[in-house]
Structure 1
Amino acid sequence: MGHGHSRRSLPESMTAWETVGAAGPERVRRVERPVPRPRVDEALVEVEACGVCRTDLHVTDGDLPEHRPNVVPGHEVVGHVVALGERTSRLAVGDRVGVAWLRSTCGACRWCRSGRENLCPAAQFTGWDEDGGYAQLTAVPEAYAYRIPEPLAAEQAAPLLCAGIIGYRALRRAALPPGGRLGIYGFGASAHLTAQLAIAQGAEVHVLTRGDDARRLALELGAASAGPADALPPVPLDASILFAPAGELVPVALAGLDRGGTLALAGIHVSDLPPLRYEAHLFRERTLTSVTANTRQDGEELLALAARLGIRSTVTTYPFDAADRALDDLAEGRFAGVAVLTRGPGLA
């Protein structure tokens, strides 16, 4: 049964931010767009908040290949359903939902069938293949929308939808033993959420990052130590996650691992890796692995954990009209934690 109706009449147009291409003088520009009409399996969501993710920078700056010209970025979206396609059955108008990076998968390939839909070759991504949340309204396949736990405010929930989910998957990929020592390289949006999650679950966390503000935040959140990104940790580590998109830190992080340790690279883009020396970096059963997107199960588990454990984002809010400034500030490292665009209620 479908719910192909809206809560109220929708306007014909809306304000959005779109990419201009890597050669442009600016990262994004503000435009008027037709309001998207949900396809038969989609929900139309009125955006309340949208996180500003480093992946948005990779899209706007050309680090990732262009999938759609003038795409609307944003894949950490919290809002309310205002309309539904004819073949939807899971959501209702008025539901509070989240829209994340993973937008759709084929459901039929061997990766989807084996519970690894994050590796689906036909996967589509919000804010890269289809328009995302730097807009008043955005559409999402209802099967890929998340219900947002009520205790979470919109500006707290938004960063969980990518920074949180990717950090959660990276933590799993790093194979940290219970009560083990975890290294975190870089301390932005995803890292400061992952550190809280690991500490709440009993890990000893050591943060290695540039920037005094980031190190102070790490210690405030309960890290056992916080030092420069290119330094060795004070103790050998059981597992590490590299959040900084800096390939030159890979041998540094590998050298900081204890025997049998794992380094997970959490970025969708990392600069070129320097040569690795087998004896210094990989011998004694050290493992180097990567993280690719997420499954919907990752998202459901992370949202439940965040609500239960009281994970808090350190948020800098920007009005919707300042999306361009938020991206520039992220690129220049002008804030610690995460940036979130917020919109007032109503479509006017």
Structure 2
Amino acid sequence: MDAWVVARPGPVASRPLERTTLPDPEPGPGELRVRVEACAVCRTDLHLAEGDLPPRRPRTVPGHEVVGRVDALGPGAAGPAIGDRVGVAWLRSTCGACRYCLRGAENLCPSSAYTGWDADGGYAEFVTAPAAYVYPLPEDAPAETLAPLLCAGIIGYRALVRSNLPPGGRLGIYGFGASAHLTAQIAIAEGATVHVMTRSAAARELALELGAASAAGSADPPPEPLDAAILFAPAGELVPVALAALDRGGTLAVAGIHLTDIPVLDYRRHLFEERTLRSVTANTREDGREFLRLAAAHRPRVATTPYPFAAAGRALADLAADRVEGAAVLLMTCS
């Protein structure tokens, strides 16, 4: 099969991705194989390619926002049938037996494994995945707009939950890329007032088009105190900025898997009056199911920038340079 691998982790300008030919993967016990239609490009892929996220195996195929059709079943695979349209997401497997899994926090499982990190992902013609960890997808939506839902959407929803936004509350969003633009629409549809802070003028314009009450620069104060905030930008210097914008009792959730160093915090200004700083670590399958239910109900506009499969390196470079509106998506129908 045709595939891209992370050959030499390093700055995106050094072209860490390499296009190659790999054997078609065979599904193992409980697994299925998916013929890929589209794979969205996540900032986590960029962190992996550049080495911010240490590779767990050599020459990994990245990509964990995969839309495709089941074309082979491994022994004992139950659920999806051949020909079904499914989504393959970041969380690949968990042990199911540890105290985290048993209490419903499988995202914290020490034995968890991830698509495009522990196992080859969707920058390829085929990908395998455990049948119990894929999501059924509708037939009536383009693969290009479904793909970003599988990580950008799901992890954004997880961050929204972690932010403890009260009903009808005021939510601040810092950074406005693939995940943020979906999260904002779900929050607005559920009754929140959303204020967006981002350095990109185009992203600010998009935020207002999607219903944000205001859009300003990344370090600018919102027009009113925030009940909750989510930091999507991987910029640690924005943590004190966002904390200072919170009202009493507010919560800041940091959505990324990688964050630059956080500056020294001032206790009284940033944390006193029961302000809370929380991380977000992966997601549970229940998060994925609930987000996809909300997406089907509210039908958020999914802003995408499509790329042919051959342009995976350019898609990562554009993402690194903030040249992507919404989500970058690799399309297998274009070589």
TM value normalised by structure 2 = 0.98
In structure 1, the residue matched to 2:8 is 21
1:313–1:337 Cα contact (<8 Å) kept:
yes
Alignment RMSD (CA, Å): 1.2
Unaligned runs of 5+ in 1: 1-13
- Aligned mate of 2:333, from 331, 344, 347: 344
Supply the AA of the counterpart residue of 2:280.
V
Contact kept in structure 2, 1:151 and 1:307, CA below 8 Å: no
Superposed counterparts of 1:245-260, under 5 Å: 245-260=234-249
Return the offset for 1:89.
Answer: 1.9
Partner of 1:103: 92
The CA distance in 1 between the partners of 2:171 and 2:80, in whole Å, is 39
Q: What is the correspondence of 1:4-83 to structure 2 with a 5 Å cutoff?
A: 14-23=1-10, 25-83=14-72
Q: Which deviations, in whole Å up to 9, do the C-alpha atoms of 1:288-322 show, x marking residues without a partner?
A: 00100000011011111111101121011001111
Report what 2:124 is aligned to.
Answer: 135
| 2:309 match | 320
Runs of 4+ in structure 1 off by over 3 angstroms are: none
Counterpart Cα distance in 1 of 2:148 and 2:322: 17
Following the alignment from structure 2 to structure 1, what is the Cα–Cα distance between the partners of residues 54 and 223? 39
List per-residue Cα deviations over 1:67-112 (Å, max 9, x = no partner): 0110000000000000001111211100100000000001010000
Match of 2:184 among 176, 179, 195: 195
* 1:302 is the counterpart of 2:295: no
1:160 paired with 2:149, answer yes
Counterpart Cα distance in 2 of 1:60 and 1:271: 16
Amino acid at match of 2:136: R
Deviation at 1:238, TM superposition (A): 0.2
> In the aligned structure 1, how far is the partner of 2:141 from the partner of 2:43?
22
On the 8 A contact 2:10/2:49 being kept in 1, the answer is no
Determine the C-alpha separation between the residues in 2 that align with 1:209 and 1:156.
Answer: 23
Q: Does 1:268 align with 2:257?
A: yes
Contact preservation (8 Å) 2:229, 2:251: yes
The match for 1:185 is: 174
Q: Take 2:10 and 2:153, find their aligned partners in 1: how far apart are those partners?
A: 31
**Structure 2 Cα separation of the partners of residues 313 and 23 of structure 1:** 30
> Does the CA contact (< 8 Å) of 1:19 and 1:72 recur in 2?
yes
Q: What SS does structure 2 have at the residue aligned with 1:91?
A: coil
SS at match of 1:303: helix
CA distance in 1, matches of 2:32, 2:133: 10
TM-score of the two chains, using structure 1 as the length reference: 0.94
Confirm or deny that 1:85 pairs with 2:82.
Answer: no
Provide the C-alpha distance between the structure 2 equivalents of 1:205 and 1:332, rounded to a whole number of angstroms: 25
Q: What is the rounded CA distance, in whole Å, between the counterparts of 2:121 and 2:164 in structure 1?
A: 32
Determine whether 1:333 maps to 2:319: no
Q: Give me the whole-angstrom Cα distance separating, in 2, the residues matched to 1:206 and 1:152.
A: 29
Secondary structure, aligned partner of 2:289: helix
Q: Cα distance, 1:150 vs. partner?
A: 3.1
Aligned-pair distance for 1:151? 3.6
Structure 1 residue identity aligned to 2:102:
R
Aligned to 1:34, the other structure's residue is in SS state coil
Is 1:219 aligned to residue 198 of structure 2? no
Cα contact 1:149–1:304 (8 A) shared by 2: no
1:6 is aligned to none
Task: Please identify, of 306-315 and 95-104, the stretch whose mean Cα deviation from structure 2 is larger.
Answer: 306-315
Q: CA deviation at 1:340?
A: 0.4
Deviation of 1:200 (Å): 0.5
Query: Counterparts of 1:55 and 1:21 in 2: how far apart (Å)?
Result: 16
The answer to whether the 8 Å contact 2:78/2:132 transfers is no
- Output the CA distance in 1 between the equivalents of 2:78 and 2:324: 41
Q: Note the alpha carbon deviations across 1:128-162, whole angstroms, 9 max, x for none.
A: 01000000001001010110133432111100100
| Aligned position for 1:11 | none
| Alignment partner, residue 3 of structure 1 | none
The 8 Å contact of residues 261 and 287 in structure 1, kept in 2 or not, is answered as: yes
